[in-house]
A and B are shown apart, each in its own frame.
Chain A
Amino acid sequence: MASLKIKGVNKKTWVDYLIVILLIVIIFITFYPFWNVLILSLNDPTDALKGRLWIWPRAWTFNNYIHFFEQEIFLNALFISIMRTVIGTIASVLFTSAFAYGISKKYLRGQKIYIAMMMLTMYISGGLIPTFLVIQGLGLYQKFLVYIIPTMFSSYYALIMFTYFKTFPKDLEESVKIDGGNDFVVFFRIVFPLSKPIIATIALFNAVGQWNSWFDTLLYGGTKLMTLQALLVTIIRDIQQAQELLKSGQLAQNYTLYKPTIESVKATAMMITAIPIIMIYPFLQKYFVKGIMIGSLKG
């Protein structure tokens, strides 16, 4: 809130203090799950079994992480996750923004039809099973591209971009075209750099979506294309199977002093999936808050 010109108004009442205290409590509760898993991952596994780790690790160790990265299954999953996030995000951003730019031009023939087609998909959809059958039919089953192609476009993001692109002045384009540039030049050299905030927001959302997704791995991925998140889900869902794996010595083979437990492996995996996002989103906060505002103006 802006400054109030009337004197005596900035005096804090007991309500203000109450609000601050409540907010601190809320923030603490919100943050705690993350903190708890963090300290669990930094604690020796056997010691962690004793429980009661609230605030700080009792038996500090980085072994959980070191040994995590020594397992081929995990390294593979990490690689796939990174690949799909990077490639998927670039593909999505280009694909979606190009479309949004295209339909923002009034002189496009059939502009209204294309817009309608896009908007319609926000309200109705074919459902889980028909989509599943289409993907199988296309031969994408258990191929890496299944992580990229079916998620390349999103009407919601396209809408945000479309609203933004519409505000561009025509002269900008025209001056480039007079100099002999075509639409591609206009788009890449001018529009793209000017839309950095929006692009950053969409890129962030896409990246988070790609990094966090696990269901499509379960449905379409198969074991060779396991992602980090899906690995975590397997550990949760099939804790029996995961424990067998640990006991059978596949993971504990080379370890004499370090004995992993399912809980510590889980905690480490959780941290690895969470930390990249946690580190990035605060920096883009400004942008996506604005993006939500723009998107909400559509009505």
Chain B
Amino acid sequence: MLFVWPVIIWLIIFWYLPLFGVAIAFQDYNVGLGVLGSKWAGLKHFKDLLSDPLFHNALRNTLMYSFLNLIIGFPIPIIFATMINELIGMRPFKRVVQTISYMPHFLSWAFVASFLISFFAGDGLFNQLLRSIGISSEYAYMANTGSFVAVIVISSIWKSFGYGSIIYLSAMTSVDPEIYEAALIDGANRCQKIRSITLPSIKPTIVVLLILQISQMMNSNFDQFFLLSNPLVSEIARVIDVYTYSIGIQKGRFAYGTAVGLFKSVVALVLLITANTASKKIADESIF
């Protein structure tokens, strides 16, 4: 059918072709010779990868941030959704709260990074605020490793908590109110109601999103790290996605960069399948 073919062609060009381009990872790729003309190099790039200290650094950092985002960042949209769900009535207030909470999601990282860099500079607004309440501080948050990590995690949460709460809230609001009434009659207090009604209503959602987040542990938000990192914190700001870019495109090592990307994808796939199987056994829920 006419409707379908254009997209299929598009898919072939923009998805499946690059997919085959992954072959570059196994070649001594030469731009002039192209994929078909370059010599094969076997697993050379992957061996380089495993002994590359910068890659190990990138891997460590990536996992650290993903882990922090998981432990700290995953519960927050849930807590936020629960808070909103607990309020009875107050529709206009809830609408406004939700609308504003979506705003960070729609702002680009260029905006957010630009704000953060100014705000947390030595002479930035944050320090000015501290000074105005008596704490003298000239601390450059973006230039020190510990505070840099904190800024990354906090800004990640800030940017995604509102939008992320949508899916939980829609699951919570689809619970039949009569169940809550029944619980009330049985004498349940707020805590018990949350534990036995609200949370189970989002259990499938939590499991699916958890599996997805675990499977994406090798990814990082490229925009965020690219824009926020600076030479002073490069040790802690180097994540795989940015490393792939700097090594692959900026330094022109196409083959090696592709190898790094491929390695990451394979690990991600393994993580996805593992997480899925584990959750099938433990929680009886899974994606496939």
Contact = CB atoms under 8 A, between A and B. Distances in A.
Contacts of A219: 249
Interface stretch (A30-38, A57-65, A69-77, A168-176): A30-38
B4 A114 contact: yes
Contact of B18 (A23, A102, A130, A158): A130
B287 interface: yes
Contacts of A22: 83
Interface residues of B, number: 88
B110 A273 contact: yes
Nearest to B127: A51
Interface in A282-296: 282, 285, 289, 292-293, 296
B38 to A, nearest CB: 12
Nearest to A132: B249
Interface in A223-265: 229, 232-233, 235-237, 263
Interface in A182-222: 183, 187, 208, 212-215, 219
A134 B24 CA distance: 12
Contacts of B235: none
A105 interface: yes
A178 interface: no
Nearest to B181: A4
Contacts of A51: 123, 125, 128
Quick one: which of A33, A123, A233, A278 has the most chain B CB within 10 A?
A: A33
A167 interface: no
B180 A36 contact: no
B244 to A, nearest CB: 6
A297 B190 CA distance: 29
Interface in A4-27: 4-6, 9-10, 13, 15-16, 19-20, 22-23, 26-27
A281 B222 CA distance: 24
Contacts of B22: 126-127, 130
Nearest to B230: A237
Interface stretch (B7-15, B46-54, B61-69, B143-151): B7-15
Contact of B19 (A27, A130, A132, A235): A130
Given A16-B86, A102-B4, A129-B249, A236 B113 contact: yes
Contact of B103 (A26, A214, A278): A278
Contacts of B1: 102, 105, 108, 183
Given A114-B8, A214-B110, A232-B110, A126 B85 contact: no
Nearest to A229: B110
A87 interface: no
Interface in B133-174: 158, 162, 166-167, 170, 173
A142 B244 CA distance: 22
A53 B132 CA distance: 12
A19 B86 contact: yes
B106 A263 contact: no
Interface in A263-283: 263, 266, 270, 273-274, 277-278, 281-282
A56 to B, nearest CB: 14
B265 interface: yes
Contact of A127 (B89, B166, B258): B258
A138 interface: yes
B208 interface: yes
A81 to B, nearest CB: 11
Given A130-B24, A277-B107, A27 B101 contact: yes
A15 B82 CA distance: 13
Contact of A150 (B14, B102, B208, B249): B14
Contact of B132 (A19, A52, A127): A52
A6 B185 contact: yes
A285 B113 CA distance: 25
A129 B111 contact: no
B199 interface: no
A46 interface: no
Contacts of B20: 126, 130
B33 interface: no
A263 B87 CA distance: 41
Given A274-B111, A285-B99, A289-B166, A299 B208 contact: yes
A118 interface: yes
A95 interface: yes
Contact of A134 (B4, B14, B111): B14
A9 B7 contact: no
Interface in A89-108: 95-96, 98-99, 101-103, 105, 108
Contacts of A187: 3
Quick one: which of B87, B93, B103, B287 has the most chain A CB within 10 A?
A: B103
A145 interface: no
B17 interface: yes
Contact of B108 (A10, A229, A235): A229
A95 B16 CA distance: 18
Given A6-B181, A9-B184, A232 B107 contact: no
Contacts of B92: none
B91 to A, nearest CB: 10
14 contacts: A9-B184, A23-B84, A30-B100, A99-B7, A114-B4, A123-B269, A127-B22, A127-B265, A129-B257, A129-B258, A130-B19, A130-B20, A153-B14, A215-B223
